Amino acid sequence: MVSTHTARRAWRRLEPVHGMIYFVPEAVEQFAALGVTDRQMGYFASRGAAFGRVSAEVVIATFFNFCPGLVRRALPAAWDIVTPQRLLDARLRAAGNALKRAGLDQHPDLPETLALARRAAEAALGHLEGRPLFAAHATLPWPEEPHLTLWHAQTLLREFRGDGHIAALTVEGLNGREALVLHAASGDVPAIFLKASRGWSAEEWDATEEDLRGRGLLGEGLTLTGEGEALRRRIEDRTDALALPAYAALGEEDCARLAELARSFGRTVVDSGLLSFA
């Protein structure tokens, strides 16, 4: 058995190894070299490329909390510029270059961390049902270089958890915009970043705040009520439970070891500036 607390800690600490791909200049440079010069187009197309020539509608559904108009400006137009495979290759090159810049390819604990993360990711492959974005990435080949293999393993674990999170949100009757505003109210991510990156208008955001306030989930300003906090805890607890099959394969001791090792990797990514929102 593995506790959801240990599994969540292992995921959260290693997540910067994957998440940096959405912020580093290496990705912007690689996509621009293929003719994709718009940063938002690069994000939607590169992350969605695992589906193939995916429609905007599939990305709206699986990415969940982005304004549909923002997605439709990027897709399917991106496929008139570049093929999905070329974008996937560019994304992998960008990840490799960025992680090398941070020195993770030389990290002394890379072999052990990779072995544990890959075991968890491969265990997740036995649970494809209801996880479309994870399943799409699961079809991609494993990279050969160890630091890229670790990046791919954490990519799979991130999308596995993400698909489960969307299921939890849907069960609670929340749409993407509502989930986003509640996330901002939790204080986990600055509201200014979420507003800027998800594409909703100020009017749409304000209307959603008012609706959630009327339902007793938001208080004055962007704050959660007790009922809102209980809803957020319920969603996160369910998300943790849905992510557990991947980490259960490690057992408590090895999962705790992954969490211990992951701390250094995550900190290195952050300290190297790979997660800069600028």
- Please report, as a single letter, which amino acid is at residue 35: G
Q: Is the distance from CB of 88 to CB of 46 less than 8 angstroms?
A: yes
Structural domain boundaries, residue 117 = 4-269
pLDDT at 17 over 80: yes
Per-residue pLDDT tens over the stretch 70-127:
999 999 999 999 999 999 999 999 999 999 999 999 999 999 999 999 999 999 999 9
Instruction: Specify if 156 maps to a domain.
Output: yes
Per-residue pLDDT tens over the stretch 126-164:
999 999 999 999 999 999 999 999 999 999 999 999 999
φ, ψ for residue 174 (rounded to 5)?
Answer: -95, 140
Locate tokens 């969307």: which residue? 166
Predicted pLDDT of residue 278: 56
Query: Total structural domains in the chain?
Result: 1
**Exposed / middle / buried, residue 193 (Cβ in 10 Å: 0-12, 13-18, 19+):** exposed
Other Cβ atoms closer than 10 A to 168: 19
Give counts: helices (H), strands (E), the chain. 14, 0
Instruction: Specify if 225 maps to a domain.
Output: yes
Instruction: Specify if 277 maps to a domain.
Output: no
Predicted pLDDT of residue 72: 98
Instruction: Specify if 173 maps to a domain.
Output: yes
Instruction: Specify if 103 maps to a domain.
Output: yes
Instruction: Specify if 99 maps to a domain.
Output: yes
Instruction: Specify if 275 maps to a domain.
Output: no
CA 27 to CA 22: how far, in whole Å? Answer: 7
Instruction: Specify if 278 maps to a domain.
Output: no
Secondary structure (3-state) at 127? coil
For residues 252-259, average pLDDT: 98
The b/e string for 90-123 (b: 16+ C-beta within 10 A; e otherwise) is bbbbbbbebbebbebeebeebeebbebbbbbbeb
Per-residue pLDDT tens over the stretch 189-209:
889 999 999 999 999 999 999
CA 265 to CA 186: how far, in whole Å? Answer: 26
CA 61 to CA 69: how far, in whole Å? Answer: 13
